[in-house]
Amino acid sequence: MEVHHHPQVEKKNFKEYFLEFIMIFLAVTLGFLAENIRERISDHSREKDYIVSIIQDMQKDSASLTNYIYKNIPYHSKWLDSEINL
């Protein structure tokens, strides 16, 4: 039967624990900041795409509304004439 001996582990002093804490804290903080910057860049490009899409939709709607108005002017003018006569 084998006996496993635990290796001798040197005890850490306060400075080593504090240094490890600072390194982990900086790693997490920098990761958080990098993620926020990446999201801001992607949100900004997505925002530009949405604005372009809204402008194109408004142009299409304006064109179709103008077309609808000009097609229906004769019908509405006849209707208004009959209302005026009444």
pLDDT score, position 6:
74
C-alpha distances in angstroms, 63 versus 53, 60, 72, 83? 15, 5, 14, 29
Q: pLDDT tens-digit profile of 5-54?
A: 777 778 888 899 999 999 999 999 999 999 999 999 988 889 999 999 99
Long-range contacts of the stretch 57-60 (C-beta < 8 A, 24+):
none
More confident site: 54 or 76: 54
pLDDT at 38: 93
